[in-house]
Chains A and B, each alone.
Chain A
C-alpha cells in the first residue's frame, strides 16, 4: 500500500508526516538541550578514558540486560518483564525505520532486506508484540494488585505503559489491514496479524474501508511513537535514552575507593553544599534514575526506618537540580549554563541543598554499604554524593554528630578512634613473639592488624588467632606495632578527607621505608583502604585480606584443617570485603574446608547482604533514629537457625555480639570470627 502518496484533504501524507516529525523533534530536542545545559553546570570529571572497556561494559549490561536480570528471583520477576519489553521494543525500533520510511518512500517494505527477512521478521514482530503486551499487563498488575514496596505507582508510569501497550495493539491492526489490502502477503507467518485479517474480512469490510482504516492505524501508530519520544525526556523514562550513557560513563576505578579531594592546600571550598558543585556525571545519575526502587529495598538505612532512602535522595536531587538549574540559567540570561559557583549561588534564593533538599539526618544515616550502587540497574553512584555532602559538613562547617569529635581527636592524637595511647598499639602481641618491623623488617608478609585488632579486647583475641595460624603455617611475618596507625577508613567515610589524607600519607611513608611488598589485613576496611585508596596517594602494595591469604595457605597445603567443628554456621558478608571487593568465596571456602561444618546461607547474602550497621563511620555514632540495623541483621541469621554466625570484620563481630546480647539470644547463637574457627580446626 502506498502510504507516502495517500492524501488527506488533498495534502499528501509525506507532507503531513514531515510536519509532525519536525514538530515532535522540536519538542524533543529542545527538552534534551535544556537538560544538557543544566547538566553542564556540574563540575568537570574526565570519564572518557578506556573507551573500549566502557563500550564493552555498556553493551553487556544493556544488550544482555544484565542490569535488570541479575537480581531476578522468585518473588521479584520484574527484571524479566523489563527484558521482555526491552527486546520486544528493540525489534519494533527497527521496524519503525520501515514504518516511518514508507511515509516518504512508496513501496518501501521488509523485502528490501530480502525475501526471507520479509518472511520471518513479521513473525518475530508478532511474538515480540505479544511478549511486550504480556509484560505490560503483568507490570500493571504489579503496580495495582501486587504492590511490592519498591514500586511507587505514578500516573506517568501508567501513561507510558499504556502507550507501549497501544503501540502493540495498533501494530496488529495495521498488520491485519495490510494483509487484506496487499493480497500477496496472505502467506504471512505473522499469525496474530493473519488472525486480525481474517476477522476484518469476516466483518465484511470493503477494501477501501480497510485502506482508510489502515492509514488511520498507521497514523495513530506514528503519533504514538512520536508522542512517546517527546514524553521520554520529560519523564523517568529518560533512562531509556540515558541508561547506556550513564553505564558508559560509570566509574571504572575500584568500587570501594572514594574520589580524593586533590590539592587540599589550595582549594577554598571542600565537599558539596550546592547542587552545581557535583560533577556532571553525578548529575547525569539524577536524570537517569528509573525510580525502580531497587536501591531502596536493599538499603539498611531505609529498612531500619531511618529517614534516608537512596531512591528518594536521587529523586529529590533531580527535582532540585531542575528547579535550581532553570533558575540559574534564567539569571544568566540564557547563557551557556557554565556559571561560576559563586555567581550561580546568587541567582537562586530557593532551597538549600543540605537541610532543605537533603536533611543532615539523611546524610548521617548512610552506612556506605554500597548496596544501592550494587543493585542499581543504571549504575548510579550514590555513596560519593553522600560523602561529598558529609565532606562539606565536616570540613567547612565542622558539623557532625557530636560523638564524632572525640573520634577525630583520637585519630589525630593517638592514631586510633578509641584514643588509647598510640605507644601501646603493639602491646597485645608482646608475649606472642611476633616480629616488630622496627626491630626486624626481614619478613615476607606485613600483617596489618588495624585499630580494632590492636585495642579492642574481643578483637585482640582474633589477632592472636591469626598470629597462631600464621605461625602454624610457617609464614615469615611481622607487624608495625606502635608504628601502625589507623588506616583512616572511618575518617574518610565520615567526610574528614583531611584527616584521612594525613593518616594515609604517614602510613604510606612508613610502609615504603620498610620496603613492604605484601600486606595481609585483618579488617576488611583496612583492606579496602590500603588496597584501593592508598594507590591514589602513591602507596602501591599487594594487599590481601586474611581470608584470601588463608585460602592460599590451605590450597598450598601449608595449613591443614583437620579437627572437626560439628556446627551449623552461617556467614555474614562484610560490605567492604563482599560488595566492594567481590570477595564472597574465600570465607565460604575456608568454612567448607573445616570438617563437620554445615554452612547455611542467610536469605540476604553475598551482593544482597545487609550491612551490620557499623560502616561509613556509623561504628562511632549513636543510632538514634529508627530501628537498630545490627538487630535487623541478627534476625536474618536467627531465621536460618545456625549454631554460630561467623564474621571476618571486627565491626561486624562487635555489632553482632551487641545485638546478640541486646536480644538475649546468647544461648542459641554464638558469634565468632572465621580466624578463630580456623585456629580451632587446624591440626
Chain B
C-alpha cells in the first residue's frame, strides 16, 4: 500500500497573528510554523498502514523554503520520502488552485490512498481534500475517525462521526480521506528517526517541473480572491456583578442580559 499524505505548513495556533495595516495580508515575521495538526493524523495513519501492509509513505507539500522543516518532521515520524512543490507562482492560491497543483504533482507519484487533513488551521477552508478528489476523479470521505483497509487492499471501511452517531462507509481504493481528531494519536519522532529524516529523499518541484502554466496556479489560478483581512474586534472586559447574595445579584444579571446583551 503506497500512501500519500498532503501536508500543509501553518502558523502555530499560539502565534499572535497581526494583520498588515492595509489589510492585504498578515505579518509573517514573528510567526512560528508547524505542521497542520490534522495532517499529523494522516501521517500516523499512513505509517500504521505501512507497518501492516508495507509500501511507501510519501509526503506531498506545497510551500516555500521554510516548509522543509515541516516536511522533515513528517519524515522523522517515519514517512519514506517527500515531494515539495515550491515556486513563487504557487503563492496566494485558494483551495482550488492548491488542489489543482497537488493533483498535478500526484500524477507522478504511485498511490493507493491519499490523506488530507480535514482542514488547515490557518485558512480553515476545509476544501482541498474534496477538490483534490474531484480533480483526480477519486471517491472521497471527509472527517474520518477510524479506518480499516480490506485484506485485498481494494477497499476500506471508514467511520465518521455525525450528529448523534457514527456513519460507517465502505469506499473503494484509491480514495482521498480527510482526517479528523480521534483517528489516532500521532507519534513523537524518535531521535534516530530525526537523524534518518535528514537523509531521506526530498524532491523539490517547481512550476516547470509540473508542466503547468502560471495562470492556472496560485493567485492567478484561484477562483476566489481574498480582498481584505481585518483583525477581530478587541474583546470587551468582563463584568463582575457586585452585590450581597443571589437576591441582589440575580436581578442585576437578568437586567444586564436583557438590556445590554439582549439575550433574553
Contact = CB atoms under 8 A, between A and B. Distances in A.
Interface of A: 264-265, 268-270, 395-398, 400, 402, 405, 408-409, 413-414, 419-424, 498
B190 to A, nearest CB: 5
A419 B13 CA distance: 9
Nearest to A266: B195
- With most chain A CB atoms within 10 A of its CB, the pick from B30, B185, B194, B195 is B195
6 contacts: A396-B191, A397-B190, A400-B188, A414-B14, A414-B32, A421-B15
Contacts of B190: 395-398
B187 interface: yes
B220 interface: no
B interface, by DSSP: helix, strand, loop or mixed? loop
A218 to B, nearest CB: 64
B34 to A, nearest CB: 6
A397 B189 CA distance: 9
B164 interface: no
Contacts of A408: 188
A82 B12 CA distance: 60
Given A398-B187, A413-B32, A414-B32, A420 B14 contact: yes
Given A264-B191, A409-B188, A413-B32, 14 more contacts: A395-B192, A397-B190, A398-B188, A400-B188, A402-B185, A414-B32, A419-B14, A420-B14, A421-B12, A421-B16, A422-B32, A423-B16, A423-B30, A498-B194
A424 B17 CA distance: 12
Contact of A498 (B15, B30, B191): B191
A424 B16 contact: yes
A343 to B, nearest CB: 20
Contacts of B30: 423
Nearest to B191: A395
A395 B12 CA distance: 24
A413 B188 contact: no
A573 B170 CA distance: 61
A414 B188 contact: no
Nearest to B190: A398
B103 to A, nearest CB: 31
Contacts of A413: 12, 14, 32, 34
Contacts of A268: 192
A398 B189 contact: yes
A421 B16 CA distance: 7
Interface residues of B, number: 16
Nearest to B195: A265
Contacts of B192: 268-270, 395-396
Nearest to A270: B191
A398 B32 CA distance: 24
A477 B192 CA distance: 42
Nearest to A265: B195
Contact of A423 (B15, B185, B194, B195): B15
Nearest to A415: B32
A424 to B, nearest CB: 7
A409 B12 CA distance: 11
Nearest to B31: A423
A19 to B, nearest CB: 58
**8 closest Cβ contacts across the A-B interface?**
A421-B14, A395-B191, A398-B188, A398-B190, A413-B12, A405-B188, A498-B191, A423-B30
B1 to A, nearest CB: 23
A481 to B, nearest CB: 13
A409 B14 CA distance: 12
Interface in B34-74: 34
Contacts of A402: 185
Contacts of A414: 12, 14, 32
Contacts of B195: 265
Interface in B204-242: none
Contacts of B187: 398
Contacts of A420: 14
Contacts of A396: 190-192
Contacts of B16: 421, 423-424
A414 B191 CA distance: 20
Nearest to A404: B188
Contacts of A264: 191
Contacts of B194: 498
A575 B92 CA distance: 53
Nearest to B37: A409
Nearest to A416: B14
A265 B14 CA distance: 30
Contacts of A397: 190
A498 B188 CA distance: 13
B78 to A, nearest CB: 10
A50 B4 CA distance: 58
Contacts of B32: 413-414, 422
Contacts of A419: 14
A405 B190 CA distance: 12
A413 B9 CA distance: 13
A421 B11 CA distance: 11
A413 to B, nearest CB: 5
Contacts of A398: 187-190
A396 B190 CA distance: 5
Nearest to A418: B14
A270 B192 CA distance: 9
A420 B16 CA distance: 10
Contacts of B15: 421, 423
A397 B191 CA distance: 9
A398 B189 CA distance: 7
Contacts of B185: 402
Contacts of A400: 188
B8 to A, nearest CB: 16
Interface string B3-31: 00000000010111000000000000010
Contacts of B14: 413-414, 419-422
A96 to B, nearest CB: 55
Nearest to A261: B191
B107 to A, nearest CB: 34
A413 B15 CA distance: 10
A421 B30 CA distance: 10
Nearest to B193: A398
A416 B15 CA distance: 13
B48 to A, nearest CB: 14
A409 B40 CA distance: 13
B74 to A, nearest CB: 14
A264 B30 CA distance: 29
Nearest to B14: A421
B41 to A, nearest CB: 14
A397 B192 CA distance: 9
